[in-house]
Each structure stands twice: as C-alpha cells, then as structure tokens.
Amino acid sequence: MRITLIGGSGQLGSDLRKRLRGEVVSLGSSDLDVRRDDDVAAALDRTRPDVVINCAAKTHVDRCEDEADHAFEVNALGAFHVACHSERLGASVVYVSTDYVYGAAGRRETPYCEDDVPGPINVYGASKLSGEYLTRAYCSRHFVVRSCGLYGVAGASGKGGNFVETILRLAGEGSPLRVVADQRLSPTSTWELAAKIAELIQTDRYGLYHVTARDHCTWYEFALEMVRKEGHDVSVEAIGTADYPTRARRPAMSALTSSELAAAGIESCRGWREMLHEYLLMRKSSTQTGSLGARNR
C-alpha cells in the first residue's frame, strides 16, 4: 500500500509515520501548501498513492477567529483540493477533523455520536466541518475521522505545544493552576489515534468515525491527573468558563463516542487515564533520548 501523508511533520503526523504500514511518503507544510491546487495535483501525481491522509490544518482555535480566511483556506479549500485529486487518482482519503464541529445544540449531558447533527460555535469548528463536507462530497472513498483533545510527544506546531505540556511546564515551575471545570471532552493521544487510523485504512468501510478516548472528563480533571501522576506539589483550582475568557467560544460538552468503529471491526480507544499514563512514560523516554523536540517547551 502506497500512502501519502500530508502534514506529516505535525503532532499526529509524527505518530502516523511510526504506525503506518506500507510505503509512506510524508509531506510537511514546507513541502506542500494544500491551499494551492496545482501543488496538490503535482504532489499526488508524483507519489501515486493508494491512500492519502490529510493532517494539514490550521488548529489554533482562538487565532482562527481573527484569521478566518486563512482557516477556511487550509481546513476547507485545502481539503477540497486533496479530495478532488485523490478521487481523480482512485485513492482513498482520510480527513482528520475535530470535536469542535459541535456545540450549537446548547446544553448537553452525553457525548456526541456520529449520527448527531453538527453545529459549530467557532470559526475553527466551522472551517473543519466545511472540510468534512467537501471531503465527503468530492472523494467517494473517504474516511472522516473526528477526534478530541489531542496531545502527542511531537507537540502541536500550530499551537506551540499542547495542553498536557503546558500544564506540566507550569506545574514544574511551581505555578498554581486554574483550570476550566465546566467543559467536558474525551482527550486522546495521537499515538492511539494514529493506530486506529492505520487500522481503518486497511478496510473499505468508508464513512464518518469518532475516534477518541472511550470515556470523558473535564479539563480540570485531566490536569489534576497529570499533576498527581507526575507528583507535582502545586494547587489546582477548578474555575468556570466565564473565569477564563477566550477569543473563541468552546462547547460545554464536546466529548465524542462511536458506534461506527465497532461496525468496522475496530476496537475503541482506551480510557483517557490509560492513554495519558502511557504518554507520560513515552514523554520521559523521549526526554532522556533528547528527541522530545522544542515545540513541547
């Protein structure tokens, strides 16, 4: 199987490079600008993939509010270009999306499943939902994969790190932490997500999938577990969304659940604590070997 991995230098892409089986060509943002149709056509004509995995994205949620045109160019127009040329070459395509396609339904107590109607409340979510629709419309062999609260050893270049690294850095400095306790999510390691994508592309069960931790927590509970597991002696205060204003609105519930993975014969992801504990061990190992990378500072 020939695989072209777009966005291969990012947080998820780095783990996909280790998880994928077959002949993998990895293209970073310096290699390919998905906003340029001719560049996408040339790249895929050159690599002749059986599968294209599109991890290219503008992911900084707050910055997207002020840079909406750029967000839609990368997350939607870029997805359109990738989908069209994948279809032209008879390749399947994976589009990686987000829990933030939800939120407009208002107050909700349970996670969203694949057949729940999306409704984003920020530009980032709207741009990713547009990318989903364009991928599904223009490539018949598509896997749209929504995930949530991603973190990985490579960090997220568009965000300058990830939530786990930010919390651990502050805790390591002895700083007291104030963390939102009224937003629920299903945080997922990119190592786990990459493994599920690697399984999924071996099938022909095209469609929409939620691939996240099988359970959920608040950002506060997530941070508290990190601090406890790493043995940091710092206070962690639970606060409300109103106490931590951000440029973009966030859903109070954006945890996801899946019925489609099981239908494809793929086991669901592990619980968020198990994934986090594994990540902390991998992080220590990477630090000791000097491969953690500056983006996780």
Where along the chain do its domains lie? 2-296
Mean pLDDT of the chain: 94
- What pLDDT is attached to residue 287? 64
pLDDT for the residue 190:
97
Between CA 283 and CA 277 the distance in angstroms is 10
Amino acid at 268: S
Exposure b/e, 208-242, CB count within 10 A at least 16 = b = bbbbbbbbbbbbbbbbbbbbeeeebeeebebeebe
What band does 285 get if pLDDT is binned at 50, 70 and 90? confident
Report, as an integer, the average pLDDT of 118-142: 98
> Quick one: pLDDT at residue 155?
73
Burial of 245 (0-12, 13-18, 19+ CB in 10 A): exposed
Residue 124 among the catalytic residues: yes
**CA distance linking residue 179 with residue 23, whole number of Å:** 42
pLDDT at 288 over 50: yes
Give the pLDDT confidence score for residue 295 in this predicted structure. 30
By percentage, how much of the chain surpasses pLDDT 70?
A: 95
Q: What is the pLDDT of residue 276?
A: 98
So what's the pLDDT on residue 158? 54
- C-beta neighbour count of 181 within 10 angstroms: 20
Per-residue pLDDT at 160? 56
- Give residue 68's Cα distance to chain centre: 19
- pLDDT at residue 125 is higher than 80: yes
**Residue 58 pLDDT > 80, yes or no?**
yes
Tell which CATH architecture fits domain 2-296.
Answer: 3-Layer(aba) Sandwich (3.40)
Alpha-carbon distance of 64 to 68, in angstroms, equals: 5
Which residue in 124, 138, 209, 220 is the catalytic one?
Answer: 124
Percentage of the chain exceeding pLDDT 90: 90
Strands 184-185 and 217-218 come out as antiparallel
All residues at 6 or more sequence positions from 78 whose CB lies less than 8 Å from its CB, including other chains: 34, 35, 40, 54, 56, 131
Mean pLDDT of 229-252: 97
Instruction: Say what the pLDDT of residue 289 is.
Output: 57
- pLDDT tens per residue across span 140-194: 999 999 999 999 988 755 555 799 999 999 999 999 999 999 999 999 999 999 9
